[in-house]
Amino acid sequence: MPATGQPAPDFTLRNQDGELVRLSDLRGQRVIIFAFPKANTMGCNNQACGFRDTLPQIQAQDAVVLGISADSESTLAKWKAERSLGYDLLSDPQHIMLDAWGAWGVDMRLFKLPMITRSYWVVDEDGILVEQEIGVRPQTSVEKALTALERLAQSKRTVK
């Protein structure tokens, strides 16, 4: 799992349209990444739509949002269209990024099965991981990620 304050590990995944998205290609922008267990389920709808509804605030701070799950590209494309999500959804069917970033593992609460843990990460414009939480409620992930982004913007203004 990456450490806060350290460079965010790079990854390349396909989005809902089959296009490759590489984290390092987003340098110069702030990035909110959120992991969700399964598209079009209640908690995931709440989380994804929460990021959709705050997208204007996020974009005003020169930031982008990426949602990540193990769902197929076609499932993500359908969900994105149904929910009018204005950001990329990335498919990680082998759980490579999710595992490396600490959001894939055995959930001891639910039948001890491997699963994706709802999480969020905030990466600054220099590629540094500035905040993360593994195991978070849907709406809380939106609120905390937005607060972290605002705090980051404030600290950058103070430094200038």
* Catalytic residue annotation: 44
Q: How far apart are CA 111 and CA 55, in angstroms?
A: 35
List the Cα angle 9/10/11 in 5-degree steps: 120
Q: How far apart are CA 117 and CA 159, in angstroms?
A: 35
- Exposed/middle/buried for residue 125 (C-beta within 10 Å: 0-12, 13-18, 19+): middle
